[in-house]
Every structure is written in structure tokens, then in C-alpha cells.
A = this chain, B = another copy of it.
Amino acid sequence: MAVETGRMPADLREKAAVLDAKDPLAEFKQRFLVDEPDLLYADGNSLGRLPASTASLADRVLRQEWGAGLIRSWSDWVDLPFAAGDLLATAVLGALPGEVLVADSTTVNLYKLACAAISLVPGRRRILIEADNFPTDHYVLSGIAQERGLELVEMPVDIDQGLALETLAEYFDDDTAFACLSAISYRSGARIDMARANAIAASAGSRIIWDLSHAGGSIKVDLSGTGSELAIGCTYKYLNAGPGAPAYLYVRSDLIPVVQSPVRGWFSQAEQFEMESDYNPRAGIGRFGAGTPNILGTALVAQGAELIGEAGIENLEGKAASLTDLFIHAVDRLLAPHSFKVCSPREAPLRGSHVTLGHPRARTVSRTLIEEARVVPDFRTPDRIRFGFAPLYTSHAEVVEIVARIAQLEASGRF
């Protein structure tokens, strides 16, 4: 079997086998279309795999709903962004039905919510962002700050451990409109305590826009329980909705009536098919819609959320911890003596479902793994290699085999 070709102490393989044997999610791998069984895919945190049910659903949406139903299908399609949002809210994000909408891209959704957040505290002139937040978040906010004469303030972070709550408390003040933070850092996988961060924001009369891109589907987010007010996230990572699938946004129910989207569109209009020229935003989360929603993409998001719901987000978080714990343990034993270092938090509750290794020749390591070892990680500048272990379809055996293959290449002097 391909998943046993590398060098690996027998006890680690046994440990993986034991963990896989009691894995409540073990059967889920069969729910995905896996083309190359010997490929070790450690990049589900960039692009999740294709669920078999998604491929069937896409075919049905295309041929039956669009091809055969034609325009008549819109009577169902108009509800889809809400239905998909409700699924995400309840199965994935710990929010209430009616608080999540599937729409646009993460970038566009951040733009909308950032403008909305500014309108909640007119006159405040500072926007906070963690220095190592995902680039698109920096770009969106620097554009808004420049346009409106606000100041975008970068908060220093430990690039491996993430943003410290003490730093956040230092930076939030009564001139802060909002902060934009990732629940799970894209580079290190570091996880922040959302409840405590929200409390810090609230004590300054401010709030946080959460970027959940690396969190949704990998950890128990619990938007309601943590007191979160605004959030956005993508669906093509742990939600397995496909490349560039529509994103989502969350607005806590009490805020929905008091904020509006800067991008008004006919899908944010009340009674949209009356085709009035005057704008009158919808009462609910639909006011953050804009143009005609991408139906095929939204259907795939709903399918991805269903699968997460079926697996159970607690099971997924538990398995993410188990996979990443095992990876770090194996790296410590086999790779740490060879210039690899763990650049992610070592305690499972402090990270998500990916682990980042540092290596002076990270780009070469990453390329060699892909080309010669059938391991697919994700290179990140300047010297990092991310290993994402999507808990829905990754086994512990695969995790140790990845380390084994790296060790083998290392032993052959390939890096």
C-alpha cells in the first residue's frame, strides 16, 4: 500500500492505526472522489476535496434545474443563499438561522461589513488589523481607510503564535472603529480566543470582524457563544465547495436592522421583483446581498455545509487536534534534527487544523515533496510550508506517512 513507503518508526505507525481505528469520521473519506489514492493531500486548507455528493448535485443543478427548469427554477433559487446561510449558521458557525448569507467573495463581503462597522461608530478614525492577517484583508481595509481618511493600524503579532490578547487590549481604544482578525491565522494556524477578544473590543465600545476562512469547518466557531458581531469567510477550504465558490457573511441578528451594505443591489432590495427605482433594503440578512447570486456555487456551498453538519463540528475539531498533534509529534522525532522547525502553536486548543513548518529552503522542500514524493503541502513566503489536515478526509496514517516521506527525502539529501 502506497501509504507505507516512507521511513517511520513502527510505534508511530501503530499509534496512527489505533487512532484511525477509533476515528468516528473514518468513513467520510469514502464520501469524496479521490483520483490518486497514493497522493497525500495536505492542502485541504487551501482547496478542499470534491465530495461525491457535490459532483452529483452539480450535475442536477445544471441539467435539471437550469437546463430543464430554465427561468422557472428561480422561484426556488431565490431562497438558496438564505438556506445555504442557515445551514452554515447552524451546522458550522454556531450562529442563528437568519444571521448568515452566502454571497459574493470573502473580499467583497469584508468590504461590505467593514463599511457597515464604520457606520456603527461614526467619527472613530482607527481600524486595527493584525500585521500577519491574510493579504486580502489588508488590501480591502487599506483601500477603505484611504478613501475615508481613516488610519489602518497594524498590530504586531508573533508570526508563529498569533496575536496576543494583551496586544489587542493595548490597541483597542475609543477611537477604534473595529478590528479585523482571523480566528485561525492563515500562516501559522494559531487560534485566538474569540470570546475574550470580543470582550476586549466591547469594552472599548467597538467590535471585531472575524475572518473565519481557516476556521469554518475545522473548529467549533460558536459565533453566538463568543459574542461575535460580524464575520466573513470562504467556503473552498474546509467546506469543500470548490475553487472560488461563493463566500459567506454573518451579522448578529440585533445589528442587522441598524447596518446597511455599501454595495446596494437588486438582491438586497425588499420586494425586488417590483423593480422599483427607489432603494429599500430588505429587513433581514438579505440586505447584504448585491447582484444575482451564483446558483451553482451556492448549491455546492450548501452541500459542503451539509457534510460538515453530518460529521459534527465537535468531531471535526477533535480530529483536527488529533491529526495535528500526531504530525507535530512525528516532526519532532524525525525532522527536527534536520533544520525543520514547528512554526505553529504546540497546544492543540491554540491552533486550527493546519501546522506550519519552517525550513531555510522551504520553497525547494515544498516543490520536491510535490514532484518526487506525491505529498501536496502549501509553500508560504518566506520560509514556511503549511500542512493542512482536513479532518473530514485525512487519516492519521496519512499524517505519519507524510512525515515519513519528508524524512526519506531528507535522508537522501534532496533538500
Contact B68 A243 (CB under 8 A): no
Task: Kindly list chain B residues whose C-beta atoms are within 8 Å of the C-beta of A108.
Answer: 104, 108, 263, 265, 290-291
Bound: A108/B263 CA distance, A: 7
Interface residue A311 (Cβ < 8 Å from any Cβ of B): no
Is there an interface contact between B72 and A376, defined as CB atoms closer than 8 Å?
A: yes
Residues of B within 8 A of A59 (CB): 58-59
Contact of A70 among B111, B246, B376 (CB under 8 A): B376
Q: Given A77-B243, A380-B275, are A139 and B264 neighbors across the interface (CB < 8 Å)?
A: yes
A43 within 8 A of B: yes
Q: Give complex CA distance A46, B297 in Å.
A: 19
Give the CA-CA distance A43 to B135 in the complex, in Å. Answer: 42
- Interface band, chain A: 35 or more
When A67-B35, A72-B376, A104-B105 are in contact, do A295 and B243 touch as well, CB less than 8 Å? yes
Chain B residues near A131: list those with CB within 8 A. 277
Residues in A32-89 with C-beta less than 8 Å from chain B: 33, 35-36, 39, 41, 43, 46-47, 49-50, 54-55, 58-59, 62-63, 66-68, 70-74, 77
Min CB distance, A143 to chain B, in Å?
A: 4
Q: Is the CB of A147 within 8 A of B262?
A: yes
* A7: B residues at CB distance < 8 A: none
User: Quick one: CB contact mask for A136-148 with B, threshold 8 Å, 1 for yes?
Assistant: 1011101100010
Judging by beta carbons under 8 Å apart, are B70 and A47 in contact?
yes
* Min CB gap A45→B, angstroms: 10
Check: A238 CB closer than 8 A to any chain B CB. Answer: no
CB-contacts of A124-168 with B (<8 A): 131, 134-136, 138-140, 142-143, 147, 154
A24 to chain B, nearest CB (A): 25
Looking at the assembled complex, report how far the CB atom of A161 sits from the nearest CB atom of chain B, in whole angstroms. Answer: 19
Are the CB atoms of A293 and B244 closer together than 8 Å?
yes
Given known A-B contacts A139-B264, A291-B108, A296-B296, A277 and B35 have beta carbons under 8 A apart: no
A334 at the interface (CB under 8 A from B): no
A276/B70 in contact, CB under 8 A: no
Contact present for B292 and A236 (CB under 8 Å) = yes
Residue of B with least CB distance to A103:
B105
Q: Is the CB of A105 within 8 A of B290?
A: yes
Task: Confirm or deny: A322 has a beta carbon within 8 angstroms of a beta carbon on chain B.
Answer: no
Whether the pair B55, A264 counts as a contact (CB closer than 8 A) is no
- Cβ-closest chain B residue relative to A105: B291
For window 366-415 of A, CB contacts with B under 8 Å fall at 370, 376, 378, 380-381
CB atoms of B378 and A265 under 8 A apart = no
A71, B147: Cβ atoms under 8 Å?
no
Q: How far is the CA of A275 from the CA of B185 in the complex (A)?
A: 14
In the docked arrangement, what's the CA distance between A277 and B138, Å? Answer: 6
Contact A62 B67 (CB under 8 A): no
- From B142, B143, B247, contact of A291 by CB (8 A): B247
Q: Which residues of B contact A244 (CB under 8 A)?
A: 77, 291-298
Cβ of A173 to closest chain B Cβ, rounded Å:
22
Q: Are B73 and A243 in contact (CB under 8 A)?
A: yes
A219 contacts the other chain (Cβ, under 8 Å)?
Answer: no
Contact present for B381 and A292 (CB under 8 Å): no
Q: CB-nearest residue of chain B relative to A51? A: B67
A353 contacts the other chain (CB 8 A): no
Contact, CB under 8 Å: B275 / A135: yes
Q: Which residues of B contact A217 (CB under 8 A)?
A: none
Bound CA span A278–B154, Å: 11
Cβ contact of A263, chosen from B36, B140, B236, cutoff 8 A: B140
Known pairs A107-B291, A135-B277, A140-B264 / 19 extra A-B pairs, C-beta < 8 Å: A43-B70, A47-B71, A49-B70, A55-B63, A72-B376, A77-B243, A108-B263, A111-B263, A131-B277, A134-B266, A136-B266, A139-B279, A140-B265, A143-B261, A143-B279, A147-B262, A236-B292, A244-B293, A275-B381
